[in-house]
Chains A and B, each alone.
Chain A
């Protein structure tokens, strides 16, 4: 058993996430992490799922996902093949949308880079 990261590009339709997740619950596989983000391409979402599984199982699951209508492509990597980048997002209240250093007193743009 290893950690696998599954990445799938799906049309942004209602219910498609259900369809994908259903494949995991049908196989009694626990989804450890799930993110859905819109991509630059209109109407497409990138869905990233982390599971613990065997290579056989994850490749079967990926084929099942790929088979769903609305999925553009799906791939998987084992955890060791992936580089991590840590990103943090902060939400702050500002009075205006001018990104002057004054509006973000605690951080300056340099420290964000």
Chain B
């Protein structure tokens, strides 16, 4: 808990002068320190200059990373927050600085990432007058923030920032935007920081009803074919170990959503794979075969449910989630439990009986064999000498002993990487799941490396997505941020091309893409790089890239027209998942 130290108590080094007089901008710095924030991602400009001036004196306490674009800084903050569990802090200037952040704010909202974005604003007398670089940031970010607020007077700064940090990283985490007018940044205030731990109009904690948990246990104990599906809620709640205990005690098979990946290690015997459109065959099929479906910390996104009206209709559904608005939103549930995953699992574990479901588990294994022979084997051990995406991921697994943090962009490579990467430690996947933001990967990887400096961070990016935020090579180079960048170059916007092939009669409308020489490009940023076109040279190239001390880049020329399977075609139900191209394409 926060303590207010007394100036007279004698603990000089720990003492902060109570009610010190300072500018609003310095109060921002002090507030960050009081929240134990040591890393900020930012980009200056007129509207936030007083804050940057204050930062000048705090450089030894706050590590500020200057990116090359505001989209870069916010994705970096997201990557940082996702791997560390800490709040990602962003600085941006008014107007265009603010609007450039919006993609990342929306992304963080969808993926429940804790961010506090501190954005400059024109002086309050100018508000509403279309002043130079005035943008109604608060108005614009209402739909994509957990909370936002505009500070127009300096003495509000400590109170509002304290609220902002509490809101961002409690309950279901999310982004908070604080706009600070220029006059507020300059005003002299009397600084006193009190940490927030409670707000009247915000329920950060839930108190799951014990009776409900008993009902859940009874239902699980009676089930013949129970199936557990989990999402990022497990990670956000720190319930990884409890999840493991629960499935080990009950013997229930468990599958993960895209964002839940790494909450359970991929080689756990009860782990049956990834759910969703390009997830594994077995868990998707079995969703419509189980008799009790236990959902924990996931929101039944349409990429997971397929046609929701045909989702697990045969099953009794239990939904455990911290966000009441997610319960009964898409899937009608039989027993809703409003609560934090850890708390609920902790109460549930003693009530469930230990057991195993051998025959039921075998059904999963049989389906896995189908997928292995028809898809996985070809993806991971192709016969020809052309590299493909699956092989790159397999080699990464072999070379890194799964100690790596994987960051992906959006597209085919994202699905292949998520499918085949062996996750061992929690928080080892950073990907844009909800919003599916191309350009996310490179900056997010940079932030991830800063959030977990001792881990190897590998960025897997498509040729398309790389070119959306490649300017961040400049940041990587300037701060020597050791990210390992692998570009999977198929000369196409691959995922869109796949859809065109499957659902639009192969009419490749504007999806072939020419790229610059990525090796030369990296060279311009003084980042060592190489290109591989043959599978036989791939292992060595990846090894070399990983061993290099500092950032490095590898471009892998992959098959141009490979497709990602299995796939739940859009509009189909989870059990209509296909393993290969259908001859009649009128899905």
A interface, CB within 8 angstroms of B: 10-11, 14-15, 18-19, 22, 26, 56, 59-60, 63-64, 66-67, 69-72
Contacts and interface: CB of A to CB of B under 8 A. Distances in A.
B506 interface: no
26 contacts: A10-B201, A11-B200, A11-B201, A14-B150, A15-B138, A15-B139, A15-B148, A15-B150, A18-B139, A18-B142, A19-B142, A59-B328, A63-B324, A63-B325, A63-B327, A66-B325, A67-B323, A67-B324, A67-B325, A69-B167, A69-B199, A69-B201, A69-B202, A70-B201, A71-B201, A72-B201
Given A15-B138, A72-B201, A66 B324 contact: yes
Contacts of B199: 69
B368 interface: no
Contact of A60 (B142, B150, B328): B328
Contacts of B150: 14-15
Interface in B320-355: 323-325, 327-329
Nearest to A64: B325
B146 interface: yes
B96 interface: no
B382 interface: no
B325 A26 contact: no
Contacts of A15: 138-139, 142, 148, 150
A76 B325 CA distance: 15
Nearest to A63: B325
B147 interface: yes
B571 interface: no
Given A67-B324, A72-B201, 13 more contacts: A15-B138, A15-B139, A15-B148, A22-B142, A60-B325, A60-B328, A63-B329, A67-B323, A67-B325, A69-B199, A69-B202, A70-B201, A71-B201
A19 B147 CA distance: 9
A11 B147 CA distance: 13
A56 B331 CA distance: 11
A4 to B, nearest CB: 16
B570 interface: no
B117 to A, nearest CB: 16
Contacts of B138: 15
A59 B199 CA distance: 24
B143 interface: yes
A66 B202 CA distance: 9
Interface string B528-564: 0000000000000000000000000000000000000
A19 B199 CA distance: 18
Interface in B122-164: 138-139, 142-143, 146-148, 150
Contact of A69 (B143, B146, B327, B328): B146
Contacts of B201: 10-11, 69-72
A24 to B, nearest CB: 12
A56 B324 CA distance: 14
Nearest to B326: A63
Nearest to B324: A63
Contacts of A10: 201
A39 to B, nearest CB: 14
B438 to A, nearest CB: 23
A18 to B, nearest CB: 5
Residue among B142, B202, B329 with most chain A CB within 10 A: B142
A72 B325 contact: no
A72 B146 CA distance: 16
Given A15-B148, A22-B142, A72 B324 contact: no
Contacts of B148: 15
Nearest to A13: B149
Contacts of A19: 142
A63 B199 CA distance: 18
